[in-house]
Structure 1
Amino acid sequence: MTTVTTRTVEYPADGLTMVGHLALPAGAGRRPGVLIGPEGPGRNDVQRRRADALAELGYVALAFDLHGGRWFTDPEEMLARCLPLLADPDRLREIGHAALDVLRAEPRTDPDRIAAIGYGTGGAVVLELGRADVDLRAIGTVNALTTGRPGEAVRIRCPVWAGVGSEDPIMPAGQRDAFAAEMQAAGVDWRLVIYGGALHAFHHPPVDQPVLSGVGHHPRHVERAWRDIVGLLDECVPTEMRRDA
């Protein structure tokens, strides 16, 4: 196991002071960077562990923030914050650009080799970065089949991988079809994986708080989705460590 260094980073976005978690791999040279967008309730230990795991693989990883350091335990409060964000691509892009600036400013990050992954609302953020013509090497999302403004998906320059649960009522078949149609019409190199029997947020461990209807953890698929994301990074922005594996 390699030594990972972590630190908390604060930065402004969407009128808030965001609190991100930056994880650095062992060594001193520049490494590829990965943005990690959190689920709708916000950034917590789950995203921090994701960043640390990617740093173990040789990436500079930033788990970014959506809500100014807040973790929502009330689903209604979470929706009151997230739904206006999801309806406003420019705000999503502002949040994404601010986090991207932090990642690029880190001396260990190779600014020409950056990928972005996201879950739920965080996935919508990274998709909007692609639609905003940001130079990313890969975009990966789970439970974030959001469609953009007409014509803007043609700006996506990199492969897009998306995963969703077959039983997700928040991202139903119609939403899957609309996302696929948008990506295909734009000529994007895209893939969609449907995890059989999984609900919304199947990738997040169970929490001791109220959750939205249709949310549920799926322990087998969470591991499969993580392997798929790591496979995307291996393909599009491999680290020296992964090349040698």
Structure 2
Amino acid sequence: METVTTRTVEYPADGLTMVGHLALPAGTGRRPAVLIGPEGTGLNDFQRRRADALAELGYVALAFDLHGGRWFTDPQEMLERCLPLIADPERLRGIGHAALEVLRAQPRTDPGRIAAIGYGTGGAVVLELGRAAADLKAIGTVNALTTGRPGEAANIRCPVWAGVGSEDPIMSAAQRDAFTAELQDAGVDWRLTVYGGARHAFHHPPVDQSVVPGVAHHPRHARRAWHDVLALLAECLPVAAG
């Protein structure tokens, strides 16, 4: 019986050698594909397992890198790397486009059927891909309600789903309102799910989050958010249609 196969892929972006994780479904034919953006801490085994899980469902999946193979354990180091990135849409787009081209070039990928999901900083990357008019069939983000430059949301060509915790101090109610107003004004097909009682990074199993205020794992909502991501893909990028 054929199974999922995985491998590391290296590619240049943002002046670094990125180290992504590619997961391929069983079989030999072309399949729809999903780009997966990690949290600001970087690509770790949790995100790699997300790619593997999507491959088990029949998708070609690439969990992309943000930091040239680094995974930050020090919150201050992470912020020093991520805050300038989030403030610079062109750098975010460069990281996203580099990963998207790697995924699109895979022989198993149906290049016309790609979606992108992202978490935290990785979510900001996939949103900027949408604002740059990337050919995507769906965009999903968790804990990433970043707004873009005026008028560019009109370039988004696909449905957008976003999830956020109601008690997230980073993605506040005001930020939620700004994000949804941007998408609504641009005529984007958007949805926002607010998970009651959840804080920032609620979807990620606890690592060492005690020093980061407003960050906490919420197992029940983490499961729900993953199911909501899968529902988005099932609606916009069904494997059976591939």
Q: Secondary structure at the match of 1:115?
A: strand
Confirm whether residue 197 of structure 1 aligns to residue 197 of structure 2. yes
**Which TM-score applies when normalising by structure 1?**
0.97
1:83-112 deviations in Å (ceiling 9; x for gaps): 000000000000000000100111000000
Do the aligned partners of 1:73 and 1:210 also contact (CA within 8 Å) in 2? Answer: no
Aligned to 1:39: 39
Letter in 2 for 1:115: A
CA change 1:86–1:127 in 2 (3 A) is same
Q: Which runs of 4+ in 1 moved over 2 A?
A: 208-211
How far apart, in 2, do the equivalents of 1:229 and 1:118 lie? 10
Q: Secondary structure at the match of 1:49?
A: helix
Aligned to 1:104: 104
Aligned to 1:164: 164
CA change 1:197–1:210 in 2 (3 A) is closer
In angstroms, what is the RMSD of aligned CA positions? 1.3
1:27-77 deviations in Å (ceiling 9; x for gaps): 000000100000000000011000000000000000000000000000000
Question: Equivalent residues in 2 for 1:1-245 (5 A)?
Answer: 3-208=3-208, 211-240=211-240
Structure 2, unmatched stretches of 5+, are none
Aligned residues: 242
Letter in 1 for 2:126: V
Q: Secondary structure at the match of 1:194?
A: strand
Do the aligned partners of 1:40 and 1:122 also contact (CA within 8 Å) in 2? Answer: yes
Do the aligned partners of 1:75 and 1:210 also contact (CA within 8 Å) in 2? Answer: no
Deviation at 1:185, TM superposition (A): 0.1
How far apart, in 2, do the equivalents of 1:155 and 1:99 lie? 20
How far apart, in 1, do the equivalents of 2:118 and 2:128 lie? 11
Letter in 2 for 1:120: G
How far apart, in 2, do the equivalents of 1:209 and 1:199 lie? 12
Deviation at 1:231, TM superposition (A): 0.3
Deviation at 1:212, TM superposition (A): 1.8
How far apart, in 2, do the equivalents of 1:27 and 1:183 lie? 38
**Which TM-score applies when normalising by structure 2?**
0.98
How far apart, in 1, do the equivalents of 2:140 and 2:211 lie? 24
How far apart, in 2, do the equivalents of 1:197 and 1:209 lie? 17
How far apart, in 2, do the equivalents of 1:47 and 1:182 lie? 29
How far apart, in 2, do the equivalents of 1:211 and 1:39 lie? 17
How far apart, in 2, do the equivalents of 1:2 and 1:47 lie? 23
How far apart, in 1, do the equivalents of 2:136 and 2:8 lie? 24
CA change 1:189–1:207 in 2 (3 A) is same
CA change 1:45–1:108 in 2 (3 A) is same
How far apart, in 1, do the equivalents of 2:115 and 2:212 lie? 30
1:170-205 deviations in Å (ceiling 9; x for gaps): 001000000000000000000000000000000000
How far apart, in 1, do the equivalents of 2:217 and 2:210 lie? 14
How far apart, in 2, do the equivalents of 1:211 and 1:144 lie? 21
Identity over the aligned pairs, expressed in percent? 83
How far apart, in 1, do the equivalents of 2:80 and 2:190 lie? 31
How far apart, in 1, do the equivalents of 2:216 and 2:30 lie? 38
